[in-house]
Amino acid sequence: MVYFAIGPVERLSAPTRLEFDSATALVVVDVQNDFADPSGSLYVDGGEEVVAAVNVEVARAARAGAAVVYTQDWHPADTPHFAKDGGVWPVHCVGDTWGARLHPALTVAEGAEFVRKGVDGQDGYSAFSVREPLTGARSATALEGLLKARGISRVVVVGLATDYCVKETALDAVRLGFDTAVLAGAIAAVDLEPGDGRRAVEQMRAAGATVDEP
């Protein structure tokens, strides 16, 4: 197998000491082997450091009684999302494979919820929605309903990667009316083009999300 190390990573400052509460959900985006392990097919340089930073926030959220939700890319083996089938990306996070599993060093909170994206071959960038690669048609994941059923009004986003799934999750959260924060010390960017991570931060801020200052 050929592995693609994407980088260099663009990381920002350490997380702000944002206070969690029962009306807050920590959304841990795609901290999976294919993104966070150096052997992963879409490894984000420095992903292991993000795992450690996310673990700090998971512990804080759990102590405060906040909801914790983990998202996973969970693709079929054949999908227009992959370059081999006409898409952009190398094969990654195929369901029930090592690459799709959460990183083994990631803390999984007791009672956490899990949302899988792209299970039917869609582009699964946002935790809140998926998109058909050929038509662009968008449909919702279970996340919005899950959060509203628990009375969640604020979403805190961490994980991988800043310029793709973190950004799209934050933009959707704002669009859906959640008070949205992104912890800059617990994310990392792919940066296919230099500065993509910074531009993603600017987009999230412009949309109304709070992102820590670098």
**What type of residue is 159?**
G
Q: Does residue 117 carry a catalytic annotation? A: yes
Selecting among 117, 163, 172, 191, the annotated active-site residue is 117
pLDDT in tens, 171-182: 999 999 999 999
Q: Does residue 165 carry a catalytic annotation? A: yes
Q: Is 85 exposed, middle or buried (0-12, 13-18, 19+ CB in 10 A)?
A: middle
pLDDT in tens, 153-167: 999 999 999 999 999
pLDDT in tens, 84-141: 988 888 999 999 999 999 999 999 999 999 999 999 888 889 999 998 888 889 999 9
Mean residue pLDDT across the chain: 90
The answer to whether the pTM exceeds 0.85 is yes
Number of continuous H segments (helices) and E segments (strands) in the chain: 5, 10
pLDDT in tens, 9-34: 334 334 446 899 999 999 999 999 99
Q: What is the CATH number of domain 4-12+21-211?
A: 3.40.50.850
DSSP state of 90: P
Domain spans in the chain, listed from the N-terminal domain onward: 4-12+21-211
How many angstroms separate the CA atoms of 30 and 158, rounded? 9
The token pair at 105 is 């060093």
Q: Going by C-beta distance under 8 Å and a sequence separation of 6 or more, which residues neighbour residue 50?
A: 11, 31, 36, 44, 158, 159, 160, 186, 187, 188
What pLDDT score was predicted for residue 212? 82
Contact 211, 182 (CB under 8 A): yes
Selecting among 123, 163, 165, 196, the annotated active-site residue is 165
